[in-house]
């Protein structure tokens, strides 16, 4: 091992200290984690605007399908369960990463991906059902907003799945290094974030739609 070269920045020149969680130890990686948190903050605003739009046109059904008429309780209950659980298993993969347990990490990733796929499958199924019954997003402002909000979340989840899979490959190939550790941590941050968004979707869209 050669001497640590000067980092590209001055800050904490290449000091790795081991009282921090693994993903934060290399300053090159810890700055990326900060960057990702900032990204999450903007993504949150993105969803905030979609929620705002949904709330404003929620009742604008133009005589077409209403929230009450299209939401299917068992469907979104199951979706919720899958996603909450996948957030948990995602968390366990972070734990495995921090413990340096590559095998557990890969397995928990696989479980998480499977749960995510199940979630997406259900959502696609729900959407297909809606469209088949005439509830398309061209039908009314309410449906435009509904499909866009839920669909944006769904496409985020899809991106997350691809990304998690890519990360899994890298961990499998390279083991747990500061770089892969950071990647594992970040993809999980994203995943938990999507879980929070889903909590708001089922609260604001599905549950409120049932009662209002």
Partner 1 sequence: MKTGHSPRRAKSLTFLSAALLVLFATGCGRQYMVLDPAGPVGREELHLIVMSAILVGIVIIPVLILLFYIVWRYRDKPGNTAPYTPKWSESKGLEVVWWGIPIVIVGVLGAFTAKTTFALTKPPAESADVTPITIQVTSLDWKWLFQYPGQGIATVNYAEIPTGVPIQFELTSDAPMNSFWVPQLGGQEYTMPGMAMRLWLEADKAGTYYGHGANFTGAGFAHMDFNVIATSDSNFEAWVKQVKASSPALTKAGYAQLKEPSVIGTKSYSSFPPGLFNGTIWADGGQYMPNMMNQTGSPLKAGIHTNSTGVGSGDSMSGMSNMTNMSAMSATGTSSSQK
Partner 2 sequence: MAVHGGVTREPGHKKHKATQYIVGYLSSLILTAIAFGLALTHTMRVGPLIVVLTILAGLQIVVQLYFFMHITEGDGPPFHALFLILGLIFTFAIALMSVWIMGFPAFMAQVS
Partner 3 sequence: MPSGFMQFADKYLMWKEGPMIWGSDVAILLVSIGIVFVLTYFHKWKWLWREWITTVDHKKIGIMYLICALLMLFRGGADAELLRTQLAIPNNHFLSAEHYDQIFTTHGTIMILFMAMPFIFALFNIVVPLQIGARDVAFPYLNAISFWLFFFAAMLFNLSFVFGGSPDASWVSYPPLSELGFDPGPGENYYLLALQITGIGSIATGINFLATIFKMRAPGMKLMHMPLFTWSTVAACVVIIFAFPALAIAIALLTLDRIFGTHFFTILHGGNPMMFVNLFWVWGHPEVYIVVLPAFGVYSEVVATFARKRIFGYSSMVASLMLISVISYFVWAHHFFTMGAGADVNTFFAVASMLVGIPTGVKVFNWLFTMYRGRIRMTLPMLWTIAFVPCFAIGGATGIMLAAAPADYQYHNSYFLIAHFHQVLIGGVVFGMLAGMYYWWPKMFGFKLDERLGRWAFWFFNIGFYVCFMPQYALGFMGMQRRMYTYPADMGWNTLNLISTIGAYIMAIGFVFIVIQVLYSVKYGERDLTGDPWDGRTLEWSLPSPAPHYNFAVIPTVTSRDVWWELKEQGRTDELKPKAEDIKPIHMPKNSARPFFMGLAFFVAGFGFVFDSMWLGFLGLAGVVACLIARALEYNDDYHIPVHEVVETEATLGRLG
Q: Which residues bind partner 2 (CB under 8 A)?
A: 1-2, 4-5, 12, 16, 18, 20-22, 24-28, 30, 33-34, 37-38, 40-42, 44-45, 47-49, 51-53, 55-56, 73, 77, 80, 84-85, 87-88, 90-92, 94-95, 98-100, 175-179, 181, 188-189, 192-193, 195-196, 199-200, 202-204, 207-208, 210-212
**DSSP 3-state of 14:** coil
**Partner that binds at residue 193, options partner 1, partner 3, partner 2, none, CB closer than 5 to 8 Å by kind:** partner 2
Which of partner 2, partner 3, partner 1, none is residue 124 near (CB under 5 to 8 Å by kind)? none
What does the alpha-carbon distance between residue 51 and residue 151 come to, in Å, rounded to a whole number? 12
User: Which 49-78 positions form the footprint of partner 1 (CB under 8 A)?
Assistant: 57, 59-60, 62
For partner 3, the closer CB: 22 or 141: 141
Tokens for 149? Answer: 């909000």
x/- binding map, residues 52-81, to partner 3, per CB under 8 A?
A: xx--xx--xxx-x-----------------
Which letter does DSSP use for residue 207 in this model?
A: I
Shortest reach from residue 42's CB to partner 1, in Å:
30
Which of partner 3, partner 2, partner 1, none lies near 24, with the C-beta cut-off 5 to 8 A by kind? partner 2
Q: 67, 70, 122, 141: which one contacts partner 3 (CB under 8 A)?
A: 141
CB 7 within 8 A of CB 14: yes
| 57 Cβ contact list (under 8 Å, min separation 6) | 141, 142, 144, 145
Count CB neighbours of 192 within 10 A: 16
| Binding-site member from 1, 5, 18, 211 for partner 3 (CB under 8 A) | 5
Q: How far is the CB of 160 from partner 2 (least distance, A)?
A: 14
What is residue 5's DSSP assignment? P
Which residue matches tokens 């734990």?
95
Looking up tokens 């500061």 gives 178
Dihedral of alpha carbons 108, 111, 115, 116, sign: positive
Q: How far is Cα 56 from Cα 155, in angstroms, rounded to an integer?
A: 23
């Amino acid at each position: 091992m050669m001497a640590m070269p000067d980092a590209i920045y001055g800050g904490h020149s290449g000091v790795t200290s081991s009282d921090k969680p693994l993903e934060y130890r290399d300053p090159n990686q810890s700055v990326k984690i900060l960057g990702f948190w900032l990204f999450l903050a903007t993504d949150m605003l993105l969803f905030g605007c979609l929620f705002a739009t949904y709330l404003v046109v929620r009742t604008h059904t133009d005589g077409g399908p209403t929230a009450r008429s299209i939401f299917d309780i068992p469907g979104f209950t199951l979706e919720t369960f899958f996603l909450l659980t996948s957030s948990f298993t995602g968390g366990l993969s972070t734990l495995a990463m921090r413990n340096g347990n590559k095998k557990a990490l890969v397995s928990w990733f696989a479980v998480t991906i499977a749960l995510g796929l199940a979630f997406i499958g259900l959502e696609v199924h729900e959407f297909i059902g809606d469209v088949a019954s005439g509830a398309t997003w061209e039908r009314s402002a309410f449906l435009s907003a509904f499909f866009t909000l839920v669909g944006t979340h769904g496409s985020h989840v899809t991106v997350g799945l691809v990304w998690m899979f890519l990360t899994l490959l890298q961990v499998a190939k390279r083991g747990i290094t500061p770089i892969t550790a950071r990647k594992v941590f970040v993809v999980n941050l994203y995943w938990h974030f999507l879980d929070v968004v889903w909590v708001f979707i089922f609260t604001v869209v599905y549950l409120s739609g049932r009662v209002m």
